[in-house]
Amino acid sequence: MTTTPPGHTLITGASSGIGAALAREYARRGRPLVLTARRVDRLQALADELSAQVPVEIIAADLADPATPSALFAEAQRRGLFVATLVNNAGYGVPGRYLSADWDTHARFLQVMLTAVAELTHRFLPSMEAAGHGRILNVASMAGLVPASAGHTLYGASKAWMIKFSEALAQESRPRGVHVTALCPGFTLTEFHDVTGTRDRVSRMSPGMWLDAAQVARAGVDAVEAGRVLCVPGWRYKLIRQMAKLLPDALMHRIVAARAKDFRDAE
């Protein structure tokens, strides 16, 4: 039986999609929230929705700014908030082949997807370990568990990094009472594909391949509470993960390359 840690749950990228679903799931479980994202209007709307269930703090922040992680931590400290659960959810994709975007675009992506995750974890983890309990839920992706395809070149690489980061951190922190989980959903019904301009492509996929954001959030929270290091929601994606482990690499690369045009812009 796990004990619910006191304190707040801080969720990055909470204004929509899986982040908003995670906020609703934690609110359903009675966890006070700290919600952060760039879009203040959406954050406020979500806070208004959930404040009848739990206390909700909002902090507008853009993780593409290298100064944001330290400023976010300082603001939480200033408000006297103990962050018992950190959810590193903020993320997006850069469509097209690697050289179709300039370096500044890639640099901002890496800041959000890697550096901010590492820094926020480094800043909030010590107080969890000092208290002897805590949770870190890193929202990765199936893209980090299967061979990469052309297009969105850094996305799969960033998610693979997040998975390995979570695995190592879980081993380090478990003896100190902190659970760390990498949540690896497949295609999920959010606005992600609208933002990346691939909605027309992915809409042609089988409906059975789509996960519901609430389903993903529930699976992720259950996993981190139970201390499971890796969470792959949905039986189809569990099967794909096993295929990726068992089939020869060359065959998996051919399969991914053949299907990539259905969900990736490689031009």
Residue 98: active-site member: no
List the single range of 48-52, 61-65, 137-141, 184-188 with lowest mean pLDDT.
184-188
Whether 109 shows a pLDDT value over 90: the answer reads yes
Structure tokens at 38: 């760039």
- For 157-169, how does the pLDDT look when each residue is reduced to its tens digit (9 = 90+)? 999 999 999 999 9
Task: Identify the pLDDT of residue 208.
Answer: 66
Identify the structural domains of the chain with CATH numbers, from first to last.
Answer: 8-262 (3.40.50.720)
- Count CB neighbours of 29 within 10 A: 14
- For 15-35, how does the pLDDT look when each residue is reduced to its tens digit (9 = 90+)? 999 999 999 999 999 999 999
Kind of pairing between the strands at 83-88 and 33-37: unpaired
- Provide the percentage of residues in the chain whose pLDDT is more than 90: 78
Q: What is the mean pLDDT of residues 244-263?
A: 79
Better-scored residue on pLDDT, 5 or 151: 151
Task: Identify the pLDDT of residue 1.
Answer: 39
Three-state secondary structure call for residue 266: coil
Ranges assigned E (strand) in 129-216: 134-139, 178-183
Confidence of residue 200 (pLDDT cuts 50, 70, 90): low
Whether 219 shows a pLDDT value over 70: the answer reads yes
Of 17, 108, 12, residue with least CA distance to 59: 12
Which of 92, 98, 155, 237 does the annotation list as catalytic?
155
* Vertex 226 angle, CA 223 and 229, to 5°: 55
**Model pTM score:** 0.89
Backbone φ and ψ for 19, nearest 5 degrees, come out as: -60, -45
Task: Identify the pLDDT of residue 203.
Answer: 59
Confidence of residue 257 (pLDDT cuts 50, 70, 90): confident
* Vertex 204 angle, CA 203 and 209, to 5°: 75
